[in-house]
Amino acid sequence: MAASPSSPEQNDFREYARRWLQENAPPPPPERLPMSPLEIMTVGQRNYLQDWQGQCHAAGLIGCDYPQSYGGGGHTNFQPIANQELGHARVPFMINIVGLSMAAPTILKHGSEEQKRRFIPGALSGGEIWCQGFSEPGAGSDMANQQTMAVAEGDNWIVNGHKVWTTLGHFARWMILIARTSRHHKYDGLTYFLAPIAGHPGVTVRPLVKMTGESGFNEVLFEDAVIPDSHRLDDIGKGWAVAMTTLTYERGAAESAGGTGGQSSDPAQGLIELARETQRNGLCAAADPVTRDALMQRVIAMEGLRQSARRARVPGLCDHPMRLPLQQKLLSSENHQANARLGVEIAGAASTLYKLDPNAPRQGYWPLSYMASYGNTIAAGTNEIQRNILGERVLGLAKSK
Amino acid sequence: MTSEDRAPVDFGFGEEEEMLRDLARKFLDERIPVETLRQLVAPSPVPVYEQGEPPAWDRSVWEDLVELGWAGLAVEEKEGGAGVSMVGIAALVEEVGRHALPSPLLACLACSLVLRSADSEVARRRLGQIAQGTPAALAITPGDGSWEPERSDIQARRVAGELTLDGTAHFVQDALKADFFVVTARLNDKLLLCTLPADAPGLSVEQNHIHDLTRDQATLRFRQVRVSPSSVVTDDGAEVLRRAWPSLLVLASADLCGSSEWQLQATVEYAKNRKQFDRPLGFFQAVKHPLVNAMVEIDRARSLLYHAASCIDAASVEAEKASRMAKSAASDAGAFISDRSVQLHGGIGFTWESDVHIFFKRSLHGQVLWGDGIHHRKKLAEILIDRDG
């Protein structure tokens, strides 16, 4: 965002957040951190990041706009400011990405008072890590094709099934889970649960290895796992509607409970610096006209993304209220991919080097980031599904199924 | 790259700007719906393409626009204009583009924006005339279409106190509608900026034979054209044009954003109604996804357009960068939706009887006007890679 909102409280808060982040930037991590919360593999990384999120929460930078009774700050419109400052400060990212951007807002909207008091504070502080149990081997883009069954037995549900691509499952205390409670209705037969994971009988978490060679996501098996009915979120059969709330936040169409941090505020600037540092045939890559044009295309796309986020808050300049918000996930993931891809091209032959090769530029960031970027063009509904949603809900074209 | 500009977070798009835009949309919907436009500018290819007649325009619509105060949108109130912000002008010009309106309006706005960046008595007098509805056009482009403000193929000479112009101004937009021109000419190592009546002795206006049916264009030839001292705006024309350049790019970008949105919505309508294989075309992802891609590109251009306009209103140093980004994005979005609008309309989209070619041609013209995407990315790279480094 280019300019700051104007209320004096918000300006004071921005000042406070900026100063706190300057004075409390954490020490270097004991072991190298991955690029994002999607690849956290070791207990050392987890402890360091969990500690950092706890400090940010205690300082009031996370859950700013959540009620105090649920561990929040009780403010209005402070979170976007905190998120911007976290982004500018180049501090480590928040580990509890699923808790902050999916579980907390979904529980806030659909949960009972007791559930809000029990689950939201741990999601905000990072004390309890969350994972997401939506995808299955046979339910990817066709997410309603859930085969995981939950069968009522007294005050409990007995759950059997197989979830995949479960980011942070290996460290998770809880999972937001969709399971089938009726075979008669595809959509209305789904119910949403807050499922215990770590150490829970009948739950097995196994790591899956990504194309980058890293882990960080998993498959989760439920074999007669018992979930108390008090962990059901909203009504039986409402699981699809509740999942839509989660997806609205996951796709960035609404503000999450806490900023992710850890990202350079201007990836295009990083590409320009790479081009300036890179020599080819004795010339600077930044002098090559084709490279310059490609760099400027990236600059313009990134600025466009920022300005669209700004325009999305000016109703008079939006023809359709969801037209810009529903583009968020599509554009941020594809821009990240295109940026990384250009980084690979500019780095040239050196982009062949894996991160552990001593000569790899920026420790192999560009090729690794490029490969990792497919996580985001696929997750949260593939970008092909996002284009269907935009074409159908915003443009009003016929449904493609 | 705009970490801190001084523009307001809502771009300064307030109630006044929204009312102006909504009024413009309503007026143009009534006065120049697409059926009326087609009958006006494209009854057949014969008059314009074969016989070389000037493209038609409806003078009565223009007179009503003058009544509404649009001719003076970019003229300060104390000079008899409406003094609307650049953001408000961008919003109105989007509507002009969405209706592919043939009129002297864009040329008048362009002249106003140039003249108002020159703080001189002559400029103020001409601004007052424009606000009252005297159409003007900018004659500042050399023959190679290089879109560099300091270039001109006209030579000014001062002989015995008499100033005369010799040479040629190319690609003059809506020249046939203009009563006077705003002209640049080289004078020693300076750039002279002056105004000349369309019927000045020694000036000939040669109509270009162009594709776009919704505007006209001409080459202006100057043979010993006398410039009276009361017509000289400034001899620092290069600086005046450099200051006004971002606002010219905003005008061109806004027109493109508007025409692109019409092309998108018209193609979406067709994809909803036209059936093949017992399904509306929009059911097929080979149709649906490119339309979404076009929407995304148009939205990027619109967001950058309002960013650029608000930078101009805030007199921010970001204005040049922002306006070059906007024009690059608007040109590319225009090219993409133009391509898809013809292709996805299928056979009918390839015919004269369809409306899509009218917007295709206006867009194609607008994409190159004041520089296409490649040009502006080149200029942007000079700032962001060479200068800011």
Q: To 10 degrees, what angle do helices B237-273 and B319-344 make? A: 30
DSSP of B337-377, one letter per residue? HHHHHHHHTGGGGGSSSSSHHHHHHHHHHHHHTT--HHHHH
A-proximal residues of B, 162-191, CB under 8 Å: none
Residue B10 is assigned to a structural domain of this protein: no
Claim to verify: residue B258 and residue B358 sit in the same structural domain: yes
CA-nearest residue to A400 within chain B is B283
Q: What's at B277, amino acid-wise?
A: F
Give the mean pLDDT of chain A: 93
Contact in structure between A125 and A70 (CB atoms under 8 Å) = no
A-proximal residues of B, 35-74, CB under 8 Å: none
Residue A90 has pLDDT above 90, yes or no: no
B215–chain A Cβ distance below 8 A for any pair: no
A314–chain B Cβ distance below 8 A for any pair: yes
Place of tokens 């017509």: B231
Q: Beta strand B190-197 with B180-187: parallel, antiparallel or unpaired?
A: antiparallel
Beta-bridge partners for A284: A279
Claim to verify: residue B121 and residue B161 sit in the same structural domain: no
B92–chain A Cβ distance below 8 A for any pair: no
What does the pLDDT read at residue B4?
45
In angstroms, the CA A160 to CA B298 distance is 47
Claim to verify: residue B244 and residue B382 sit in the same structural domain: yes
Distance of CA A389 to the CA centre of its chain: 19
Share of chain A above pLDDT 90, in %: 85
Residue B8 is assigned to a structural domain of this protein: no
How far is B7 from chain A, CA to nearest CA, in Å?
Answer: 7
Name which residue leads in pLDDT, A262 or B167: B167
CA-nearest residue to A289 within chain B is B378
Using the beta-carbon criterion (under 8 Å), do A304 and B271 form an inter-chain contact? no
In angstroms, the CA A65 to CA A67 distance is 7
pLDDT digits (tens, 9 = 90+) for B228-269: 999 999 999 999 999 999 999 999 999 999 999 999 999 999
Residue A388 has pLDDT above 80, yes or no: yes
The alpha helices in B225-350, defined as continuous H runs, are 237-273, 285-313, 319-344
Examine the fold and report which residue of B237, B253, B288 is the final residue of a domain before the chain moves on.
B237
Name residues whose C-beta falls within 8 Å of residue A128's C-beta, 6 or more positions apart in sequence. A96, A99, A119, A122, A173, A174
CA-nearest residue to B375 within chain A is A293
What confidence category does residue A265 fall into, taking pLDDT thresholds of 50, 70 and 90?
A: low
CATH of residue B128's domain is 1.10.540.10
What does the pLDDT read at residue A1?
37
Claim to verify: residue B329 and residue B245 sit in the same structural domain: yes
Name residues whose C-beta falls within 8 Å of residue B109's C-beta, 6 or more positions apart in sequence. B73, B74, B89, B93, B251
CATH of residue B146's domain is 2.40.110.10
Residue B7 is assigned to a structural domain of this protein: no
B223–chain A Cβ distance below 8 A for any pair: no
Examine the fold and report which residue of B210, B237, B264 is the final residue of a domain before the chain moves on.
B237
Q: What's at A40, amino acid-wise?
A: I
Claim to verify: residue B264 and residue B357 sit in the same structural domain: yes
- Quick one: which H or E segment has residue B280? strand B279-280
Name residues whose C-beta falls within 8 Å of residue B65's C-beta, 6 or more positions apart in sequence. B71, B103, B105
For chain A, what is the largest distance between any 2 Cα atoms, rounded to a whole number of angstroms?
Answer: 75
Claim to verify: residue B108 and residue B206 sit in the same structural domain: no
What confidence category does residue B2 fall into, taking pLDDT thresholds of 50, 70 and 90?
A: very low
Claim to verify: residue B196 and residue B259 sit in the same structural domain: no
In angstroms, the CA A100 to CA A94 distance is 9
SS3 category, A353: coil
CATH of residue B282's domain is 1.20.140.10
pLDDT digits (tens, 9 = 90+) for B172-203: 999 999 999 999 999 999 999 999 999 999 99
Contact in structure between B166 and B118 (CB atoms under 8 Å) = no
Catalytic residue check, A114:
no
Examine the fold and report which residue of B108, B134, B160 is the final residue of a domain before the chain moves on.
B134
Name residues whose C-beta falls within 8 Å of residue B70's C-beta, 6 or more positions apart in sequence. B24, B82, B92, B105
Residue B161 has pLDDT above 90, yes or no: no
Residue B9 is assigned to a structural domain of this protein: no
Best of A277, A307, A389 to substitute, by most chain B Cβ atoms within 10 angstroms, is: A307
Claim to verify: residue B81 and residue B194 sit in the same structural domain: no
In angstroms, the CA A364 to CA A347 distance is 10
Instruction: Name the DSSP class of B141.
Output: B
Q: Is the alpha carbon torsion for A368, A372, A377, A378 positive or negative?
A: positive
Closest by CA to B25, choosing from B74, B55, B68, B71, is B68
Task: Name all domains of chain A by residue range, CATH numbers in brackets.
Answer: 8-128 (1.10.540.10), 131-250 (2.40.110.10), 267-394 (1.20.140.10)
**Looking at beta carbons, which residues of chain A come within 8 Å of B340?**
none
Residue B48 is assigned to a structural domain of this protein: yes
Claim to verify: residue B19 and residue B81 sit in the same structural domain: yes
In angstroms, the CA A266 to CA A274 distance is 13
Claim to verify: residue B111 and residue B21 sit in the same structural domain: yes
Q: What value does the mean pLDDT take over residues A176-182?
A: 98
Reading the block at residue B27, the tokens are 């007026």
Reading the block at residue B175, the tokens are 């020249």
Beta-bridge partners for B279: B276
What does the pLDDT read at residue A257?
76
In angstroms, the CA B23 to CA B168 distance is 39
What confidence category does residue B3 fall into, taking pLDDT thresholds of 50, 70 and 90?
A: very low
Residue B5 is assigned to a structural domain of this protein: no
Claim to verify: residue B56 and residue B182 sit in the same structural domain: no
Task: Determine which one of A250, A277, A345, A392 is catalytic.
Answer: A250
Claim to verify: residue B103 and residue B151 sit in the same structural domain: no
In angstroms, the CA A341 to CA A40 distance is 23
Count of the separate structural domains present in chain B: 3
Reading the block at residue A56, the tokens are 């940010």
Pick from A109-113, A193-197, B144-148: least confident:
B144-148
Residue B322 is assigned to a structural domain of this protein: yes
What confidence category does residue B312 fall into, taking pLDDT thresholds of 50, 70 and 90?
A: very high
Residue B50 belongs to domain spanning: 15-134
Residue B118 is assigned to a structural domain of this protein: yes
Q: What value does the mean pLDDT take over residues A184-213?
A: 96
Give the Cβ contact number of residue A357 at 10 Å: 12
Contact in structure between A100 and A94 (CB atoms under 8 Å) = yes
Q: What value does the mean pLDDT take over residues A69-78?
A: 95
Closest by CA to A62, choosing from A129, A120, A19, A111, is A120
